[in-house]
């Protein structure tokens, strides 16, 4: 809220809290992806104190601001007006004002045009401050049961069939869990393309309406999930698709033989077997025996 004295505040429950002043900077404020209770106290204070709140859609953001009694000036900043609105926000920042940037949901810059504004701010020497919080890709990843030590957020896949398959082929060998956004009406088609390009046995998870009343996580093999959504009615709500990395393939015997002979050309057989064991995960003794067989077959002996 802002009263007649210019005091800026926000409301949590029945308590009105005065927001501390903000220094001039571009603040990237993460907002809830569904459940409005997921907002952080720091985010509320930043939104209440900022001179300008730049929103992807001012009507969507107004629901959140009203929930917490925040009466701040808002302005639209989205992909269709970035060329016009961006310079105005930069000018305000250069004039010493504080600007809070929020998207419709989640963390700004993740699959939205905010990165352009951040790039311009950095180019002008303006301070950029992240206010972390909810993120749909991370929420889905943590609930998917898929490997989280390495992951790649790939955003939305192309709409055209050929471009979509080409994009998936480019991602096929990435040794990480892949995370996509997808629209409900294209989900079945995209899952079918993933089966074609990535293989149907990969583990996958579909997160729908995360943090909302009808939240759903459906987990299984990619082909089974594709078959389910191909036969089901078009789902509703926001969707995140997580696809686990491909299973590591065991080295072919011929490849291991070449590796053993290559190593044996530079070091004793025992050491070559030990190095091959480290590189392939095989057993040193078995590799040593195989190397001796190869050397005997070539007439080199076991020296």
* Nearest CA among 108, 145, 116 for reference residue 28: 108
pLDDT tens-digit series, residues 193-247: 999 999 999 999 999 999 999 999 999 999 999 999 999 999 999 999 999 998 7
pLDDT for residue 250: 56
What are the C-alpha distances in Å from 28 to residues 94, 110, 136, 173?
Answer: 17, 11, 16, 33
Percent of the chain with pLDDT over 90: 77
- pLDDT given for residue 25 in this prediction: 98
State the pLDDT at residue 2.
56
Residues of the chain below pLDDT 50:
3-5, 302-303
Q: At what angle do helices 187-198 and 222-231 cross, to 10 degrees?
A: 150
Return phi, psi of residue 247, to 5°.
-65, 140
Could you state, in order of their start, the residue ranges of all structural domains in the chain? 7-133, 135-241, 251-296
In order of 2, 96, 164, 182, 278, the CA distances from 229 in angstroms are 49, 51, 18, 13, 43
* 110 within 8 A of 138, measured Cβ to Cβ: no
* Enclosing H/E stretch for 99: strand 99-102
**Structural class in CATH, domain 135-241:** alpha beta
User: Could you confirm whether domain 7-133 is CATH 3.30.70.20?
Assistant: no
In the structure encoding, which two tokens stand for residue 4, read together? 């007649």
Buried b (16+ CB within 10 A) or exposed e, 166-192: ebbeebeeeebbbbbbbeeebbbbbbb
């Amino acid at each position: 809220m802002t009263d007649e004295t210019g005091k800026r505040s926000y409301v949590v429950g029945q308590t009105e809290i005065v927001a501390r002043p903000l220094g001039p900077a571009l603040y990237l404020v993460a907002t809830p992806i569904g459940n409005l209770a997921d907002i952080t106290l720091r985010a509320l204070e930043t939104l209440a104190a900022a001179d300008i709140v730049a929103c992807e859609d001012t009507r969507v953001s107004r629901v959140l601001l009203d929930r917490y009694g925040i009466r701040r000036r808002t302005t639209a900043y989205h992909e269709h007006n970035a060329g016009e609105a961006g310079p105005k926000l930069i000018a305000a920042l250069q004039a010493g004002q504080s600007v809070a940037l929020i998207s419709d949901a989640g963390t700004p810059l993740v699959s939205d045009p905010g990165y352009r504004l951040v790039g311009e701010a950095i180019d002008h020497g303006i301070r950029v401050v992240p206010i972390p919080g909810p993120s749909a890709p991370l929420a889905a990843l943590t609930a998917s049961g898929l490997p989280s030590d390495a992951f790649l957020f790939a955003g939305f896949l192309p709409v055209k069939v050929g471009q979509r398959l080409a994009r998936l082929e480019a991602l096929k060998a990435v040794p990480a869990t892949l995370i996509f956004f997808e629209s409900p009406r294209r989900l079945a088609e995209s899952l079918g393309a993933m089966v074609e390009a990535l293989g149907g046995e990969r583990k996958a998870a579909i997160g729908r309406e995360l943090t909302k009343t009808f939240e759903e996580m459906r987990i299984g093999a990619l082909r089974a999930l594709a078959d389910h959504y191909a036969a089901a009615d078009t789902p509703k709500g926001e969707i995140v698709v997580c696809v686990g990395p491909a299973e590591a393939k065991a080295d072919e015997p011929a490849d291991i033989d070449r590796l053993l002979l290559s190593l044996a050309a530079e070091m004793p057989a025992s050491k070559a077997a030990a190095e091959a064991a480290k590189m392939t995960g095989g057993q040193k003794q078995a590799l040593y025996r195989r190397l001796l067989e190869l050397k005997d077959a070539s007439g080199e002996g076991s020296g």
